[in-house]
Amino acid sequence: MSTVLEIKGLKKNYKTVKALKDLNVKVESGTVFGILGPNGSGKTTTLGIVLGILNPTAGSYSWFENGQKDENRKRIGALLETPNFFPYLDAVKNLRIVAQVKGMDKTKVEARIEEVLKIVNLWSRKDNKFKAFSLGMKQRLAIGSALLNDPEVLVLDEPTNGLDPQGIAEIRRLIKDIAAKGKTIIIASHQLDEIEKVCTDVLILKEGVPIRQSKIDELMVVKKEVAVSADDMIKLQSIAESSSLITACRIKENLAFLEVNEEVNAAAINKMFFEAGLVLTELRLSKKSLEDQFLEIIG
């Protein structure tokens, strides 16, 4: 597996605002790489820099182990903004203009337009004017436009933003279909559900700081949690933090949430505290949701 994109020490400042702070990332070929974070976390700034739209304050990036050369862009298809086509032209005519801008071989354009419109499920609507398209159809046409010159990498910024549930499902299905053909896809999103359903890898950003990078399967592990309380919460926390049964402890108000391994049951937890000289006043088991874990990660 080769490296498609490598980012080293990337920083971006806007006057007093530090949008990116020392970002280091590797994206491998064949992955669907998600950049996840709240609004303002630096996702779009990152994509803008690696696509040559913005200049970094410091750091570097390299596409295809070939640096920042202009020739790399021919191997990348991108959708960063709201789809922008001529409203009174149909899908085919709009894509012809895109093909001309991209300098594509004129003898292959018509066949490629047909192929792309079938990929994004718009061939049956090829003669419809863009202004008559739904928002989801417009987004699919924009993805088709990014695919027109058959790039190795597809970069998408918030691809389901503003869509209804049907439109979201269509875009997610489309992304999976494109990835299945071997293309590398980089997606920036603030929606955990979107990243969870389509990505293989994830980078979590918060206020320009990389918080965690991992395989999505590792992030999705739903952990077992025990909520306990006692009259002496300080002693409870001390016992929990020194116990081999407990992997993490967080205190919220008058409850301690203990992260434990799957095989640890309520009886074992109760016995552990009792033998340490503390009687629990409350004990209940729960599963920590993926959303809870994400919110913990971003603080």
The pLDDT profile of the chain, 299 residues, written as one tens digit per residue, is: 799 999 999 999 998 889 999 999 999 999 999 999 888 899 999 999 999 999 999 999 999 999 999 999 999 999 987 778 999 999 999 999 999 999 999 899 999 999 999 999 999 999 999 999 999 999 999 999 999 999 999 999 999 988 999 999 999 999 999 999 999 999 999 888 888 889 999 999 999 999 888 898 877 666 678 899 999 999 999 999 999 899 889 888 889 989 887 788 889 999 999 999 999 999 987 765 666 667 766 66
The per-residue pLDDT for 212 is: 87
Give the fold, CATH level 3, of 3-219.
Rossmann fold (3.40.50)
Q: Where in the chain is the domain with CATH 3.40.50.300?
A: 3-219
CB 212 within 8 A of CB 36: no
**Which CA distances in Å does 160 have to 145, 187, 277, 285?**
16, 10, 54, 36
- Largest distance between two CA atoms of the chain: 82
Q: Where in the chain is the domain with CATH 3.30.70.100?
A: 223-297
The per-residue pLDDT for 224 is: 78
Alpha-carbon Rg for the chain in angstroms = 24
The per-residue pLDDT for 252 is: 84
The per-residue pLDDT for 81 is: 76
How far apart CA 20 and CA 253 sit, in angstroms, is 34
Residue 285 φ/ψ, nearest 5 degrees: -90, 150
In 3D space, the residue among 60, 56, 59 whose CA is nearest the CA of residue 14 turns out to be 56
How far apart CA 264 and CA 269 sit, in angstroms, is 7
How far apart CA 283 and CA 293 sit, in angstroms, is 21
> pTM of the predicted model, to two decimals?
0.79
What are the structure tokens assigned to 158, written together? 């918030």
The per-residue pLDDT for 26 is: 95
**Which CA distances in Å does 262 have to 26, 123, 246, 250?**
32, 50, 11, 18
State the CATH class of domain 223-297. Answer: alpha beta
Query: What residues contact 79, with CB distance under 8 A and at least 6 apart?
Result: 142, 143, 145, 146, 154, 155, 156, 157, 159
